[in-house]
Amino acid sequence: MHASYIRNLDLVIRKIERARLAYNPHHIVSLLAVSKYATIEQITLLHECGQRAFGENKVQDLKQKMHILESLPLQWHMIGTLQENKINTLIDLNPTLLHSLDSLKLAIALQKRLEAKGKVMRTLLQLNTSFESTKSGVSPTQAKEIYLEILAQCPNIKLEGVMSIGAHSTDYKAIEKSFVLAKDVFDSLQDVGAKTLSMGMSEDFEIAIACGANLVRIGSRLFGS
């Protein structure tokens, strides 16, 4: 039981390492273990293997897992769509990073509540770089303008970069294209302090790293059997 998770983690780390070195030996890539399908026991085992950063896509699940695992020194990330009625709960959880700030409207609502509570939150602006209507996020052509607008209007939101979900496709070129678009937006934000480019999941993280991702979000490859 233990062995299979250690093996999964080792395999993922080896693949990240190979992709990272091929991209640039000085490039550093962080691994976020997406635990939305994982049990408490699985998360605990991965923690024992040295993994510290975990991500959830629902505020309720984040709250429950953070509470049960509060004695462990874990970093918790929120990666899923944030509904406005869950903003207060999320602020109170004090997550390490919100990856899914996906509109100016949400940013303004979040800013209002952060200000009222005297809190700040580290976030990434989510981009829709695959132009799939089922995906949230701002369009790459408007991204810089919206990013600057949030920086100007939302002092309690600490924007630190962008997040993207690769095109839902088996075509390498289509996936690569969506990641290249995200990297272009990320590069255009260097002068305003963007430092995190969150992209790449179980099926496409090596492509994402080849396109410059420095944070990958991996679930099923770690927790699948």
Ligand X SMILES: *Cc1c(COP(=O)(O)O)cnc(C)c1O
* Continuous H helices in the chain: 2-23, 40-48, 59-68, 87-93, 104-117, 140-153, 172-188, 205-210, 220-223
Tell me the number of residues near ligand X by CB under 6 A.
Answer: 14
* CB of 36 or CB of 47, closer to ligand X: 36
Q: How far is CA 141 from the centre of its chain?
A: 21
User: Which positions from 117 to 156 touch ligand X by CB under 6 A, shown as an x/- string?
Assistant: ----------------------------------------
* CB of 96 or CB of 156, closer to ligand X: 96
Residue selected from 6, 13, 27, 36 as contacting ligand X according to rule CB under 6 A: 36
- Within 183-202, which residues bind ligand X (CB under 6 A)? 201-202
Which range, of 12-20, 83-91, 185-193, 216-224, touches ligand X by CB under 6 A? 216-224
Q: How far apart are the first and last CA of the chain?
A: 9
Residue 79 CB, nearest approach to ligand X (Å): 4
Give me the residue whose beta carbon is nearest to ligand X. 219
Q: By the 8 A CB rule, do 124 and 77 touch?
A: no
* Residue 77 DSSP SS3: strand
DSSP letter (8 states) at residue 138: B
Q: By the 8 A CB rule, do 193 and 4 touch?
A: no
The contact set with ligand X (CB under 6 A) reads 34, 36, 57, 79-80, 165, 201-203, 217-221
